[in-house]
Amino acid sequence: METVRTLIDLGAEIWFEEDVGQGINVSNEEFVQAGLKKHTREECLKSGDLILTIQALTNDELNIIKPYSTILGMVNPFNNRQLINLCAELKINLVSMEFIPRITRAQKMDVLSSQANLAGYVAVIESARNLSTGLPMMMTAAGTLKPAKVFVIGVGVAGLQAIATAKRLGARVEAFDTRDVVEEQVNSLGAKFVKIDLGETGQTDQGYAKELTDEQINKQKELQSKVCERSDIVITTAQLFGRPAPLLIDNNTIDKMRPGSVIFDMAVESGGNVEGSKPDEIVKRNGVKIIGISNLASQVAGHASLALSNNFNNWIKDFYDSDNSRINFPYPKILKKLNKGNKILIDDGKFTFVVTGKKGLAVTTVCKSQNCFMKSNKSIHIPNFDIAFNKLTSKDKKDIKTAIKLGCNWIALSYLQNEKLILEARKLIKKDMGIISKIENKHALKNIIKIIKATDSVMIARGDLAIDIGHSEVPKVQLSLIKKCSQFSKSVIVATQMLESMIENNTATRAEINDIATAIFQGADTVMLSAEAAIGKFPTQAVSTMAKTILSTEKYKRQHIEDFKNSIISNKDPVKSILLSVKDIAYNPDVKAIIVFSNSGKSAKLVSAMRPAAKIVTISPNINVSRQVSLLWGVQSINSRDASGWKDMMSISKEIIKKLKFIKKNDFVVITAGLPFGKAGMTNMVRLYKVGT
């Protein structure tokens, strides 16, 4: 009851399932007197924000739990994939206590250890109960009775408790573990450690024994068989987290043991360490009893419940925020400038809060929206609130280092107001990494030309942009941005709420299909899904719907190519002028492809920006560039060695043409490259090649 009172003191309202305490001799009345409220199981599941369970819930039970509730318990995750998938689909948080890490902070929450401790005790008691002799040495009038010999295989938490219990009952105890580091612990309990040289073994960083090779397991079986032969009780505890238990004792070993001996298989629920063991049965072979009991800790339910409730209690106290109306907002610069009356829009403007008071670096607000439900990692927008963001934060710089370490091809910059963040980021990244600039406020629109010139790609983040400039302004801004990006040969991504309805439904609306098609007709290189694929119920269907719309729209554009030609600004750049000279050729129906040799990707961007009728094939020796240009409109990217000269360039081109099934003999192909090869930004050659000549 102490754990219950602790949670009540935290401010939690606790419901309990009627008669839940019968197995531990606690009545409903005692729970009520402690401050809990009695309800049916169904009522608890329907209304609970945090649901505690000692075993996995059924599908029917999950279906009545409200979204965004949290289940905390032992759910056997490795054998319950369906449960995990259903929780994800129903938007239910699931915390598997089996996954609590073995670290100092989490030690008090470790259910596996607390339950294994009790299980080790029960294994010895049950084994002793089934043994035909006593455990301790006894001096009787009839003479001395020898102590029983107990052999424990596996010296984890359960094994150590089994050793300690058997020793307290007076048995002679031997123990073995693949980890030599536990020998000292075995000896400290008064038992003898059996040494079997298995070669390299050891343990994981979580303290679990590493899985043995087949050769090591066979060697272990052979040598420990001799110890089993001289033992009255053998207790096996070897389990591998998330995998079937290893078979340690086979029938050959059992047949060598004395009749009346007992083998207790603590791993029977995960496949068993002993050949022939069955859950909740006593199997006899040649007079040897093989015992397997599931949920061992439940045999001492009072202590098991107390230990588990303490684990639950410690987890809740560690994560519980007594002020559940408080939200952490780690931007003191913004909090300093907020004043009473300021509006705060959360989650792309779905929820509106108004500041009603301020104290230090905290503000109090009231939600003006209906069904206000806050979730982590959602966008925030404050209308008519100007604050400069001209420098990368320390976290930004750390994230960029991580991106470089991971070999990312792109980084995206949010909340740009001008080109300054782009220029700063450019100094920190590799030359073959690209920068995507998210346009989501009116300050960025004022400086858009400088931003486009400085960046590699632009993302029109329509959610935040709509909040800042108004929803009705977004369509014309989208068209204007796409045109400007095209003029400067910069790719553009249109994002946010393209198939919003498919987060919950498996079909899109006609308006959403038109939205995708409009972006493509306007000249977008890329259309993007976000929540639809990240948290939506139908991610595969959303991707399929978008792909079909893209293919249909692009087919129409090719059939009416004259209506969709782009104008590009060369700014008297001779390299651009050379590439733009192929523009008229690229719209000729006899030209089937444009092959672009591009070390830096710049030539590929220029050709893509023309929106030619011919397909674009880019060849780059730099794998990062090849991946980067895949984001461009109409580009099929190939990572290949660089050409060593004119003849080699033609040789590489011909090899690729053979693999491109849409190019036939006598078709024309435009080839662009820079001489000498190997230098970026040197495109100075255009060749019209007739296939087969």
**Per-residue pLDDT tens over the stretch 566-595:** 666 656 666 666 666 676 777 778 888 899
| Predicted confidence (pLDDT) per residue in 277-287, tens digit | 999 999 999 99
Return the top range by mean pLDDT from 30-34, 310-314, 445-449.
445-449
Model pTM score: 0.55
In this prediction, residues 107-127 reach a mean pLDDT of: 93
CATH 3.40.1380.20 boundaries in the chain: 574-690
Nearest in space to 245 (alpha carbons), one of 218, 221, 271: 271
Domain range 574-690, CATH architecture: 3-Layer(aba) Sandwich (3.40)
208 in active site: yes
| Average pLDDT of every residue of the chain | 87
What confidence score (pLDDT) does residue 1 get?
67
Task: Say how far apart CA 586 and CA 606 lie, in whole Å.
Answer: 13
Exactly one of 168, 203, 208, 487 is catalytic; name it: 208
In this prediction, residues 425-451 reach a mean pLDDT of: 94
Task: Say how far apart CA 582 and CA 610 lie, in whole Å.
Answer: 10
pLDDT value at 415 more than 70:
yes
Exactly one of 47, 102, 347, 414 is catalytic; name it: 102
CATH code linked to domain 2-107: 3.40.50.720
What confidence score (pLDDT) does residue 368 get?
87
| E strand or H helix that includes residue 520 | helix 510-522
State the fold for domain 113-294.
Rossmann fold (3.40.50)
Exactly one of 69, 96, 113, 114 is catalytic; name it: 113
Comparison of pLDDT for 601 and 201, the residue scoring more? 601
Exactly one of 69, 96, 110, 437 is catalytic; name it: 110
What confidence score (pLDDT) does residue 521 get?
94
Q: Using an 8 Å Cβ cutoff, are 233 and 268 in contact?
A: no
In this prediction, residues 633-656 reach a mean pLDDT of: 88
Least confident range from 356-365, 464-473, 623-632: namely 356-365
The amino acid occupying position 576 is: K
pLDDT value at 627 more than 60:
yes
CATH 3.40.50.720 boundaries in the chain: 2-107, 113-294
Burial of 61 (0-12, 13-18, 19+ CB in 10 A): middle
113 in active site: yes
Name residues whose C-beta falls within 8 Å of residue 416's C-beta, 6 or more positions apart in sequence: 389, 422, 437, 438, 439, 440, 444, 451
CATH superfamily assigned to domain 394-564: Phosphoenolpyruvate-binding domains (3.20.20.60)
Provide the residue count of the chain: 693
Task: Say how far apart CA 597 and CA 617 lie, in whole Å.
Answer: 9
Token pair of 78, please?
A: 């490795």
Comparison of pLDDT for 384 and 658, the residue scoring more? 658
What confidence score (pLDDT) does residue 511 get?
95
Comparison of pLDDT for 515 and 686, the residue scoring more? 515
Task: Say how far apart CA 348 and CA 377 lie, in whole Å.
Answer: 12
Token pair of 664, please?
A: 């036939």
| E strand or H helix that includes residue 594 | strand 591-597
| Predicted confidence (pLDDT) per residue in 496-553, tens digit | 889 999 998 999 999 999 999 999 999 999 999 988 988 888 999 999 999 999 999 9
Comparison of pLDDT for 575 and 33, the residue scoring more? 33
Phi, psi of 604 (to 5 degrees): -60, -40
Exactly one of 27, 33, 82, 107 is catalytic; name it: 107
| Predicted confidence (pLDDT) per residue in 130-156, tens digit | 999 999 999 988 889 999 999 999 999
Three-class DSSP category at 661: coil
pLDDT bin (cut points 50, 70, 90) of residue 63 is very high
Comparison of pLDDT for 377 and 141, the residue scoring more? 141
What confidence score (pLDDT) does residue 543 get?
96
Residue with tokens 């949290």: 70
110 in active site: yes
What confidence score (pLDDT) does residue 322 get?
60
